[in-house]
Structure 1
Amino acid sequence: MKRLPRPIADLISLWSGLIHHPRETLLNRCHHQWRGAGFIALVTVLVATHAPGFGVGSLIIVLLLGGPSWVLDIAGSVAHDLWEAGRIWQGVDCQCCGGPDDGDDDDTDPDEPADDGGLGLTDRDIENWLEGQSTPTRA
């Protein structure tokens, strides 16, 4: 897929995701920019204003190209709202927003030791120290 143009590779990835992980793909689809709807709206305005080269037949082509993406965006938004309300897919996490808010404040792990400030060394300090160390060599 490295040689394909980005939009085509994205479409292949989207359809592959829908086949292999449909729930996660739909939940993530809610967070996209609605490109299909924007594409359809732009061409609709061009057809309505009688722009040269944009006849009524252009709408059919645009609906075939942008329609599936728009339908997935709408389905993703509905699924995401139902998922946030706790009505569907309880065990699935949205990769974009983490998960529905349960109302509890998430505390840090109580078993994690408290930060005592440490030595305050930076990466540069550690590199300088390592460069100054001699390494034993075999003769």
Structure 2
Amino acid sequence: MALLTLVLASMLWGYQGSSTPQQPPEPPEEDLSPADQRTYVLNPLQAAKELKIGNFYFRRGSFKASARRFEEATRWDPNAAEAFLRLGEAQMKLADSGAARTAWEQYLKLQPEGKQAAEIRKKLGSMGKAQ
């Protein structure tokens, strides 16, 4: 019993010694996304993963999240034509026609004869008339 009391007393004594609680580290700035802090090297597997996650968000109606994922995919693989195609679609849902145009133009550079190339050219043409 005396040993138990001694152990408890030493634990309490040690606990009282640290009267200032440890502060958690400061979180990163909100306006800095992980993309701003990363160095990218060609990684088609990571690009495919980001594209898949972006498609998931797009189907759920989270267009801002999907656009970020599609943009990440283009950073991991600058030749990922589908990522640029999907990025343009997400940007249109966000009413950012300038960003959509940029993404779709890059898609056409990568896939001038792609499956959706004619449709994208048509959309770009109608965007030009609307401006």
TM-score, normalised relative to structure 1: 0.25
